[in-house]
């Protein structure tokens, strides 16, 4: 793997509403779906050893949120943990409700023993997403699950209805008990040894394994009937590792990425970065037997691999032969990312074609360059954006804004581009104006692939390359058919 190369990804962000707008639109006509969720600890054994997991209604992973475009979702969330709990909906647009995006700083966590009711409107959205706990590294213990938003019946979908539709949550996993994890840099990290490692300025430890729908290797199984076509909605819900996903003897036709219908390219394997979701179609067109589904870590010197089974319903035969190999180079991954394009003629959540929104013709009103860095402050490993490492405020920012409480945060407390000097601790808030159309350049100098997620928004990924970003790179931007998504990888 090529080291010490700077890679940039470029995104355009349309700020739909000022982050501080307080308009709340309720759509009274769309159906409501009510959920009662009880968050508890429970013993799970995904890797054979008992460990303390975080369960939702007794389930690990949590229940899937099944919905249709424009549904209203109401979740009464009961927190039975010893700590505050907060859940975030990855990729769900929060055009008007950024104060309840499920992130610390904007949304109040549910205190232990209490319940809150979360309401969301899946307005003008389709596709595959997931939810996860956003506080205290709870994600390392569970509390995550899939979200699917189906198209409304009258909206054309650019492929035939599949015979089955499976959510596949993949992610790296530590077998250390959540209870023995200790606090370090706003996070809770597995084991005491880790604290020393992190305080020494190193990365999070290498995980123990990869789970597929909460199960260890060779456990999860997906049934397919010979000759039929199935949709798999694959999300990387892990902590740090890019995962490569592939199926022995079968090709995958990519149809959707985080709510955008894509050009239906065929892939033998897909790199799925932390926080990303992909929908593929697979056809059970091979000899009736069982096949390996393989998931392995990418860009790591040690490679972890887990398998699941693609089971033909009339098969009596366990999977055999060799597990398909993953690609090993970075350029392959970069080229694959560039090949993912929006289908301009297909409909999205509305009947009109996705391509009728000409994002390339909108004038950019602002450029923001975001560069990550790592450093030690007070003997702790910290991470920063443009040299500012975020410190949560005691008062949620939205409340401070609403009630005009002074001194909680300052607008513009993080610069629009990287600066010289040491990392500073701040409650960083960047202001944006209503209807801004923003060019965001992500720059990664850290020697480890980064995955950037813009909570509550989507952006068009118009470029991605090695080297240092420069003005001339704009000439290479894809201003026609880039996918709109909420999470982008930036390689090192
Ligand atoms: C880890 O959690 C399991 C399940 O809750 C429990 O049985 C075990 O004693 C715990 N181990 C440690 C070291 O805390
Ligand atoms: C807490 O749960 C109770 C019982 O389900 C419900 O009546 C109440 O409205 C909930 N409170 C909040 C703040 O959501
Ligand atoms: C794009 O969508 C259209 C309309 O549904 C479909 O006919 C076409 O095959 C798709 N094109 C590609 C390249 O996937
Ligand atoms: C973008 O700016 C140009 C030049 O100022 C202007 O002619 C054009 O109308 C603008 N386009 C849009 C979509 O606002």
CA distance 149 to 164: 15
CA distance 223 to 491: 35
pLDDT digits (tens, 9 = 90+) for 25-46: 444 578 999 999 999 999 999 9
What's the topology of domain 164-339? Immunoglobulin-like (2.60.40)
**Ligand 4, atom 6: closest residue by C-alpha:** 363
Identify the weakest region by mean pLDDT among 24-33, 330-339, 419-428, 453-462: 24-33
The pTM for the full model equals: 0.91
Give the pLDDT mean for 348-364.
94
Q: Is the distance from CB of 491 to CB of 334 less than 8 angstroms?
A: yes
Ligand 4 centroid – CA 361 distance (Å) = 8
Going by the DSSP 8-state scheme, the letter that residue 161 receives in this structure is P
**Ligand 3, atom 6: closest residue by C-alpha:** 158
Which ligand gives the minimal distance to the CA of 190? 1
Ligand 1 centroid – CA 469 distance (Å) = 48
Verify whether ligand 4 is closer than 6 Å to residue 437 (CB atom).
Answer: no
Ligand 1 centroid – CA 190 distance (Å) = 13
pLDDT digits (tens, 9 = 90+) for 141-180: 999 999 999 999 999 999 999 999 999 999 999 887 654 4
Which ligand gives the minimal distance to the CA of 355? 3
Supply the mean pLDDT for the chain.
87
Query: Over 60: is that where the pLDDT of 21 sits?
Result: no
Angle at CA 229, nearest 5°, toward 227 and 235? 145
Q: Is the distance from CB of 41 to CB of 52 less than 8 angstroms?
A: yes
Verify whether ligand 1 is closer than 6 Å to residue 51 (CB atom).
Answer: yes
Q: Beta strand 277-283 with 229-236: parallel, antiparallel or unpaired? A: antiparallel
More confident residue, 183 or 253: 253
Helices (H), 295-427: 330-339, 397-402
Confidence of residue 480 (pLDDT cuts 50, 70, 90): very high
Query: Over 70: is that where the pLDDT of 460 sits?
Result: yes
**Ligand 1, atom 3: closest residue by C-alpha:** 51
User: Rounded to whole angstroms, what are the CA distances from 262 to 11, 250, 320, 354, 477?
Assistant: 17, 19, 33, 10, 18
Confidence of residue 192 (pLDDT cuts 50, 70, 90): very low
Identify the CA nearest to 143 among candidates 50, 276, 39.
39
The atom of ligand 3 lying closest to the CA of 159 is 5
pLDDT at residue 177, rounded to an integer: 64
CA distance 335 to 54: 37
Could you tell me where in the chain the CATH 2.60.40.420 domains are found? 5-16+351-490, 32-150, 164-339
Identify the CA nearest to 272 among candidates 452, 489, 42, 45.
489
Q: Which CATH class for the 32-150 domain?
A: mainly beta
pLDDT digits (tens, 9 = 90+) for 247-262: 999 999 999 999 999 9
pLDDT at residue 98, rounded to an integer: 61
The atom of ligand 4 lying closest to the CA of 363 is 1
Quick one: CATH architecture of 5-16+351-490? Sandwich (2.60)
pLDDT at residue 29, rounded to an integer: 74
Query: Over 70: is that where the pLDDT of 440 sits?
Result: yes
Verify whether ligand 1 is closer than 6 Å to residue 52 (CB atom).
Answer: yes
Choosing from 363, 365, 435 the residue with most ligand 4 atoms within 8 A of its CB, the one to mutate for a pocket test is 363
């Amino acid at each position: 793997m090529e080291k010490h190369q700077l890679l940039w990804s470029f995104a355009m962000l349309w700020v739909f509403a000022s982050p501080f707008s307080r308009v709340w639109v309720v759509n009274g006509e769309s159906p409501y779906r009510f959920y009662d969720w009880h968050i508890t600890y429970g013993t799970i054994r995904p890797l054979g050893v008992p460990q303390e997991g975080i369960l939702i209604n007794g389930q690990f992973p949590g229940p899937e949120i099944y919905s249709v475009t424009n549904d209203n979702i109401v979740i009464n969330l009961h927190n039975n943990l010893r700590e505050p709990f907060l859940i975030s909906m990855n990729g769900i647009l929060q055009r008007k409700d950024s104060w309840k995006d499920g992130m610390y700083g904007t949304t109040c966590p549910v205190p232990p023993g209490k319940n809150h009711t979360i309401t969301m409107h899946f307005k003008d959205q389709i596709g595959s997403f997931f939810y996860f706990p956003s506080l205290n590294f709870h994600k390392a213990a569970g509390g995550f699950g899939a979200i699917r938003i189906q198209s409304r019946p009258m909206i054309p979908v650019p492929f035939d209805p599949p015979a089955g539709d499976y959510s596949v949550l993949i992610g790296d996993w530590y077998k250390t008990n959540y209870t023995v994890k200790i606090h370090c840099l706003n996070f809770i990290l597995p084991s005491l040894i880790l604290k020393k490692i992190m305080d020494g300025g190193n990365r999070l430890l290498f995980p123990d394994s990869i789970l597929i729908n909460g199960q260890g290797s060779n456990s999860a199984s997906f049934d397919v009937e010979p000759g039929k076509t199935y949709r798999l909605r694959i999300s990387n819900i892990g902590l740090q590792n890019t995962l490569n996903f592939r199926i022995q003897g079968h090709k995958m036709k990519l149809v959707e990425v985080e709510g955008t219908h894509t050009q239906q390219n065929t892939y033998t394997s897909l790199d799925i970065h932390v926080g990303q979701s992909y929908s593929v179609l697979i056809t059970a067109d091979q000899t009736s037997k069982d096949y390996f589904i393989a998931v392995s870590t990418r860009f790591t010197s040690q490679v972890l691999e887990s398998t699941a089974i693609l089971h033909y319903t009339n098969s009596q035969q366990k999977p055999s032969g060799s597990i398909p190999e993953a690609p090993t180079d970075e350029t392959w991954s970069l080229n694959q990312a560039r090949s993912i394009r929006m289908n301009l003629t297909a409909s999205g959540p509305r009947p009109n074609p996705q391509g009728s929104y000409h994002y390339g013709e909108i004038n950019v009103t602002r450029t923001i360059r975001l560069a990550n860095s790592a450093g030690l402050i007070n003997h702790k490993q910290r991470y920063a954006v443009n040299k500012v490492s975020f410190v949560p405020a005691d008062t949620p920012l939205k409340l401070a804004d609403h009630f005009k409480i002074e001194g909680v945060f300052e607008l513009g407390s993080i610069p629009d581009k990287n600066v010289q000097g040491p990392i500073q601790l701040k409650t960083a808030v960047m202001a944006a104006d209503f209807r801004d159309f923003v060019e965001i350049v992500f720059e990664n100098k850290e020697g480890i692939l980064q995955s950037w997620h813009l909570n509550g928004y989507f952006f068009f990924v118009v470029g991605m390359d090695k080297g240092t970003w420069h003005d001339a790179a704009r000439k290479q931007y894809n201003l026609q058919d880039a996918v709109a998504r909420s999470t982008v990888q930036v390689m090192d």
